[in-house]
Chain A
């Protein structure tokens, strides 16, 4: 059974750096083709894809946010970490951790429950 759980601060100040951790179980991020990514959803708005890291450490980023995002993995701990610099109130959203199966170039199949991050001074 695949599960993913996001953790991190619920409140960050403008200009600060956000660090979110995804802890997963039920699969290995060393399996060929598998990826773990992040998607966010501002309150009342649509979903926005942010980043994805593959089993082979290939990293993909949303072009509009690439300069602010870093995604890393720790396969031994079943963790994926996303950092986003220079946070702004417009970054207030629920952030979801996701799993992509061995097909690789497809949208995610499993989602974490999400964590709401509010950016405010």
Chain B
């Protein structure tokens, strides 16, 4: 069972805007940055969003991140077939005796 909660699945049609939520707590999202990763089938996770809403070089501006309190969201606009992948949120966690980095359970995005 993951420390942060994501919906297991999401879907949309090409061109649509889709959002994926990530719910945490004060010890992680509430006091630390949120990161988002895209994992295409059979490949390693790739950083999509860091420091809540910053895109690394090369990531299209169709991808955006936001954070409010202990929750965060990833938005994908202009959905494309190549966006079909698993998406994970992550954050540092301050819980004493807990893991330093925590993840959501992942959301499988299907492009219909």
Contact = CB atoms under 8 A, between A and B. Distances in A.
Interface in A45-72: 46-49, 52, 60, 62-64
Contacts of A112: 44
Contacts of B45: 47, 96, 111
A109 B56 contact: yes
A90 interface: no
B50 interface: yes
A8 interface: no
B85 interface: no
Given A107-B33, A107-B35, A107-B101, 4 more contacts: A39-B101, A46-B106, A110-B47, A111-B44
Contact of B98 (A46, A48, A63): A63
Interface stretch (B18-26, B62-70, B71-79, B89-97): B89-97
Interface of B: 2, 32-33, 35, 43-47, 50-51, 56, 88, 90-92, 97-106
Contacts, number: 61
Contacts of A96: 44-45
Given A47-B88, A111-B44, A63 B97 contact: yes
Contacts of B97: 63
A106 B35 contact: yes
Contacts of B33: 103, 106-107
Contacts of A105: 32, 92, 100
